Amino acid sequence: EVQLLESGGGLVQPGGSLRLSCAASGFTFSSHAMTWVRQAPGKGLEWVSSIGGSGDSTYYADSVKGRFTISRDSSKNTLYMQMNSLRAEDTAVYYCAKDFRREPAAHQFNWFDPWGQGTLVTVSS
């Protein structure tokens, strides 16, 4: 059974940093791209970032580009998101998800399944 377990969320002050982790099991980790999606309280889903199976290709939403860094460690089957210069608008539940494809790209069939249970990040003074 594929399982994804996020951790690392919490309360952080504006301008602070946080690193999220997503431990994966039940599938060949390096054979799939991985993605972070967030959901602000009471709001819809927002794609944040994706990384290819090899870790060589990364993609970011404009809202986090330059502040967030996605990475992965295949030896630990773990996905990461380093979040710096956090803002109040980054407050959300952060989900990791397994991509259908090995490498994310535009103009291709790709979907996210399954998703982790999410970890809450609150940016507030």
Partner 1 sequence: DIQMTQSPSSLSASVGDRVTITCRASQGISSYLNWYQQKPGKAPKLLIYGASSLQSGVPSRFSGSGSGTDFTLTISSLQPEDFATYYCQESYSPVGFGGGTKVEIK
95 binds partner 1 (CB under 8 A): yes
- Selected from 55, 84, 114, 122, the binder of partner 1 by CB under 8 A is 114
In the region spanning residues 48 to 77, those forming contacts with partner 1, defined by CB under 8 A, are 50, 59
CA torsion, points 114, 17, 85, 45, in degrees to nearest 10? 20
Asked whether position 45 contacts partner 1 by CB under 8 A, the answer is: yes
Selected binder of partner 1 within 25, 28, 117, 124 (CB under 8 A):
117
27 binds partner 1 (CB under 8 A): no
**Contacts of residue 33, Cβ cutoff 8 Å, sequence gap at least 6:** 50, 51, 52, 53, 99, 101, 102, 103, 104, 110
Task: Indicate the pairing of strand 78-83 with strand 10-12.
Answer: unpaired
Among 12, 116, 121, 123, binds partner 1 (CB under 8 A): 116
* Residues 100/114, Cβ–Cβ less than 8 Å: no
With CB under 8 A, what is the number of residues at the site for partner 1? 25
Residues forming contacts to partner 1 in the complex (CB under 8 A) are 35, 37, 44-47, 50, 59, 95, 100, 104-118
